[in-house]
Every structure is written in C-alpha cells, then in structure tokens.
C-alpha cells in the first residue's frame, strides 16, 4: 500500500488572492458564434452562482478571434468589460503561421479599440492549448487531422506575441502555454518551459483509465499531476487551466460520471485551489456534451447541480488528507525523456480549443480523450483535442471520444 499526502500547502498556496473562473469556447451549443450578449450571459451567470460569493469572475478563452471572421477581436472582450470579468486570453497555435498572424492582429485591434478598459482585465496570454499533446503518437492515432505544434514552433509563436505586445499596454502581462501535464513532464518540450512566464496545466483524473481512477483517488491523481508539473517548471508558476469531473456520461474505467462525484471532486480539489492558485474550472456549461462537465446542467442557470460552497474544512482538505492506494493503482512517478513507462491521459475535451477555419478564423473545439503512453523515444501522450466548436466537449468527434477512445487504446495496449 502507498500512502501519500495530497498536497503540501507550502508549495501550493500563492501569496496573493488567486484568480478563478471557467473555460469558454467561441461557439454556442447550437454551433452559432457566441456574440457579446451570449458571453455576457455566461460571465454574469458565473459571477452569480449560488454558493460562490461572486468569486468566479475570470474567463479563459481559446482564441482571440471572433468565430466566423478572419481576425476580428472575439466578442468575449467587450462582454468582459461590461461584466468586469478578467481574461486569460488564448491564441490558437495548431493551425500554422497564418493563424498566429491573425491572432496577433485580433489582439492588436482589441488593444486599439478598447484600450485600458480591456488590457487592465488581462490576467495572462496563453499561446496555444495542448499543442504538444497533439503531436504525440497517441493523439495522432486518435485524430490524425488534428495535428498540434512542436516545441520550436511554439517558442517562435511565443516570441512573436512578446514582440507584438512589447510597446503596448499589455507589455507586462505574463505569457504562458497550456498543455496536458504529461506534455509538460516530457523532457523534449523543455524549451517551451524556458520560453514562458507561467505553465498552464490540464489534468482530468476521470480519463486516467489505468490509474485506479475512481473518485476515491481523484484528489490524489490530481496532486500527482500537479506535483509532476511543478517539478519540471523551473520555479515558474503553475496555473490550473482545466480540471473537473463530469456530472453525467460514460463510465471511464473506475471513474463514474455523476453529480455526486462531481461534487466530491469540487470539494476535494476545487475548494483547496480556489483563492490559492490561479484556476479555470472545467466547466460552467456544456449542455450538449457527453460526458458533460457543466456544473449548472443543460440549462444556463445560477443554480448549480450541487452545492458549490467551500467550507473551511474542505478548503484545507488537500493539506490534511492521506490517500491509500495499491501499488498497481498508484500513478507512475514523473518520467524523464527516453524512459519507458505507462502514463495515462489527464485531461478531457474542452469547451473551446480553437481550430482555424478555411478563412483563418479560429473556432473552439471539443475533446476526445484517451490513455497515453510514454514511449522509449521520450514521447509522452495524454489527452487529445478535436477542432469541432461547441461550448462543451460535444460534437461529432467528441461523441467518439472519451470512453470510446479509451477502449480502443486499451485494445492496442493489450495487443
């Protein structure tokens, strides 16, 4: 048996009150582009959720481009200004140089159009989302058309964004990259860590099919992912950019998707994070997704599916609770590049990874997830994304994701 303390508070709690919010895609559940009214409704709902005292006042975006346009600024920006919602801006980085050019142009246009009313709300800029994962063999097996970007490409994009904002009111805003925790611990991606100011970590124990991923191990698996990422961060801040537990959907190995387990994960993982670590929960609303991670259910409402109140005891839980798991259930220690170990997917599909359209406009994406393998060549794979655009993780590809892909991956692993 192995007993592990879930969290060492000394390395976890920030010195200032942290940002917390949700992830938001560029399209609605109908497939139409979210406009300012749509984004305002989402941001207002988040801030007025029962049991949260208005603390969910930040929005993570996957693109800075308004869906259906080439490089117009996303309508989430004026919505955020109207709702006093801070922004973790996103720039889609898996569709080539032209898309990055358009993302930068959209950002420059927004700066000129909205001025400090906009820039004062920007918490950070993420250049890319899970691009490192999508170049791994597992991701390419799941979706060969949804190719990511390599470390050298991302470093180039990051430097281009730095140059673009260097003489603007965003010049002091920290730039980062978001990826699966398995992508971060892959030593071949170390140059990206050197290039960023902060690291965005996505992790979803629900999808870790070979890690004893029942809800009783959810907090421990989260802690392992966070600790592994922190261990390779070079002292840079690790932001939790996606995590959550589904309220409904397929069972993934030992992980059952239901409201009770979603609340347990919120209490044991979310509550210790909120106010202590920059966190964007997955997610507020994804009515057409399966599995569904939306905490308010199929209808946008300020009344969530479960009690979101964080008590003093639940907020301290990760620093106090010990988790016992058998050696076979325990996740592997952090691997180094070239080491051959089995390591599992840690993140699900998201409401909004943006993929470029034929005209260069970015749209948000849904997920597909599978287990991953760290191969002898040093490739660590975790989750996958597909560029279909909805507010949640549903669309054609996502409906074939999650449990379906986990089964396929397991078949290959057994072969």
- In the set 130, 224, 323, 329, the catalytic residue is 130
Q: In terms of DSSP bridges, do strands 122-129 and 175-180 run parallel, antiparallel, or are they unpaired?
A: parallel
- Residue 277 corresponds to which tokens in the numbers above? 């670590």
Distance CA 249, CA 254 (A): 13
Nearest-angstrom CA–CA distance, 42 and 28:
11
Cα gap 222→344, rounded to integer Å: 12
Q: Which of 83, 103, 224, 242 is catalytic?
A: 242
Closest CA to 402 of 282, 257, 268, 229: 257
- What residues contact 155, with CB distance under 8 A and at least 6 apart? 191, 192, 195
Structure tokens at 104: 């930068």
Contact 228, 11 (CB under 8 A): no
Residue entry with tokens 């609303």: 285
Q: How many CB atoms lie within 10 A of CB 98?
A: 12
Residue 376 burial (CB count, 10 A): 10
**Which residues in 198-296 belong to E strands, given as ranges?**
198-202, 237-242, 279-281
Query: Does 130 qualify as catalytic in the annotation?
Result: yes
**Residues recognised as catalytic:** 130, 242
């Amino acid at each position: 048996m192995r007993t592990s303390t879930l969290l060492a508070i000394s390395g976890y709690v920030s010195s200032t009150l942290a940002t917390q919010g949700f992830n938001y895609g560029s399209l609605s559940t109908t497939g139409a582009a979210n406009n300012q009214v749509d984004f305002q409704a989402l941001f207002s709902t988040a801030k007025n959720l029962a049991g949260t005292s208005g603390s969910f006042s930040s929005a993570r975006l996957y693109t800075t481009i308004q869906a259906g346009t080439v490089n117009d600024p996303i309508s989430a920006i004026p919505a955020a200004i109207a709702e006093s919602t801070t922004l973790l801006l996103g720039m889609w980085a898996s569709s080539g140089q032209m898309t990055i050019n358009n993302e930068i142009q959209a950002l420059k246009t927004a700066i000129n159009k909205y001025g400090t009313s906009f820039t004062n709300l920007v918490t950070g800029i993420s250049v890319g989302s899970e691009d490192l994962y999508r170049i791994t063999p597992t991701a390419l097996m799941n979706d060969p058309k949804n190719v990511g970007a390599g470390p050298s490409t991302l470093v180039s994009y990051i430097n281009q964004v730095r140059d673009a904002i260097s003489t603007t009111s965003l010049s002091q805003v920290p730039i980062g990259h978001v990826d699966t925790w398995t992508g971060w611990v892959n030593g071949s991606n170390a140059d990206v860590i050197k290039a960023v100011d902060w690291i965005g970590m996505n992790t979803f124990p629900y999808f870790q099919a070979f890690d004893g991923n029942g809800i009783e191990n959810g907090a421990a698996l989260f802690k392992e992912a966070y600790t592994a990422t922190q261990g390779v961060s070079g002292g840079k801040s690790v932001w939790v950019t996606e995590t959550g537990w589904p309220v409904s959907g397929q069972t993934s190995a030992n992980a059952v998707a239901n409201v009770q387990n979603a609340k347990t994960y919120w209490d044991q993982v979310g509550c210790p994070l909120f106010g202590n670590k920059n966190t964007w929960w997955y997610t507020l609303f994804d009515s057409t997704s399966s599995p569904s991670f939306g905490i308010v259910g199929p209808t946008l409402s300020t009344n969530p599916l479960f009690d979101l109140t964080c008590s003093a005891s639940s907020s301290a839980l990760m620093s106090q609770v010990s988790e016992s798991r058998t050696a076979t259930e325990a996740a592997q220690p952090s691997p180094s590049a070239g080491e051959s170990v089995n390591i599992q997917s840690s993140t699900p599909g998201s409401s909004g990874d943006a993929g470029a359209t034929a005209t260069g406009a970015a749209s948000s994406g849904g997920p597909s997830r599978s287990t991953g393998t760290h191969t002898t060549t040093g490739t660590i794979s975790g989750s996958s994304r597909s560029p279909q655009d909805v507010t949640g993780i549903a669309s054609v590809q996502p409906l074939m994701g999650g449990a379906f892909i986990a089964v396929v991956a397991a078949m290959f692993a057994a072969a």
